[in-house]
Amino acid sequence: MTANNKNIDKQGKKLLNVPNLRFPEFEGEWEKDRIRNLFTINVGGDIDKKNVSETQTDKYPYPIIANALSNDGIYGYTSIYKDSAPCITVTGRGDIGSAKFRNYPLYPIVRLLVLHSNGKIDCCFGEYAINHIRKYEESTGVPQLTSPQLGAYSICYPSFEEQIKIGDFLNLIDKRIATQNRIIEDLKQLRSAITNRIIYNLVADKKFVPFSAIYQMAGEGGTPNTNNRQYYEGGTIPFIKIDDLSSKYLTRNKDFITEIGLQKSSAWVIPANSLIYSNGATIGAVSINTYKVATKQGILGIVPKSTVCVEYLYYLTTSTFFKKQIHRIITHGTMTTAYLKDINKIKVPLPDIEEQNKVIKGLITLSEKIEKEQEILANFQAQKKYLLHQMFI
């Protein structure tokens, strides 16, 4: 592949409709047309839940595709299909306008758009061409991309042979990105499994302290900003608070920020924008360059005490053991709430500082490995973005 140096035809006329980057064996201008002239567009509807299976079986072989990006948009499986292969699905709701090449028959639901080529466009190439254009939702209520709106957009395309080569090339990059994502996910699952095993082994030793004994609030000397009233008024104020997004507190190099949120009517604990360092490397969370952090729903800024290393605090609060303790203390009302006074009473294992450093050593190495793999993923994603910009018009 080379930068395009064939912008002049045999008569000396400048070719305008060509990409910046192109395979050297192809030349000539690309054509341009509206999507409605290049594809037949179908729209997904409803499906009888009696004909839906969570798993793919001989009886239910066909994927049900919805307006989602996770799990390739697969909602379940059914015994019949509405759209044959090859085709392109385009999300009409949610993250609208995301195109995906499908080389299998499927059943579309919830206003998912399905495109069938009229013969001028290779569907694999069509996925990238459609994703290259910028699309806007049509409605003012629920964001939605409709069939007429999508059909009104135009795409540029070369000969069918060049389309196939472009599509195959970009598909290889997508497969490598998918592989990299699986590598990262497998490493995260391994880290989670090891973390849980370590914490439960420590639980078996029965060296417990209340959670309040291992941390102090983030800020100057561990004292919270007086505006953050939900964090320190005797633990009587709900820990989850949704009406104060403006107050701020100062954090320091070794501050730890954790978050409690809602999922399927139960509380969960995850790290959020953590200032966690080990020899300059971040541990399992996003590094923040500024020390002024805006509080928001469910954010608790804490600093480990001298008897606790920050990495141990991180792995403890992300363990299954700690999450289960949170689940036991939540209250249900107009919203699911975990109170700070109850969080402080949770019994957690706390070995001495030397043992903490021993048990987290391997986890830190694994976290650094995950961070390196995420950098590789980011490079692949940047490469794909650059190629899409250069290879399409």
Distances (CA, A) of 198 to 195, 215, 360: 5, 20, 9
pTM of the full structure: 0.73
For residue 148, give both structure tokens: 């007429």
- For residue 155, the SS3 value is strand
Residue 16 CA from chain centroid, whole number: 38
| 301: nearest Cα among 316, 291, 309 | 291
pLDDT at 261: 40
For the segment 3-28, the average pLDDT, to the nearest whole number, is 74
% of residues, the chain, pLDDT over 90: 49
* DSSP states along 59-94: SS-EEEE-S-SGGGGEEEEES--SBPSSEEEE--BS
Q: Say which range, 27-31, 92-96, 180-184, has the weakest mean pLDDT.
A: 92-96
For residue 111, give both structure tokens: 């206003």
| 360: nearest Cα among 206, 198, 209, 208 | 198
pLDDT at 368: 86
Do 156 and 31 form a contact (C-beta atoms < 8 A)? Answer: yes
Q: Say which range, 19-33, 83-97, 102-116, 286-300, has the weakest mean pLDDT.
A: 286-300
Distances (CA, A) of 356 to 22, 36, 198, 359: 55, 62, 10, 5
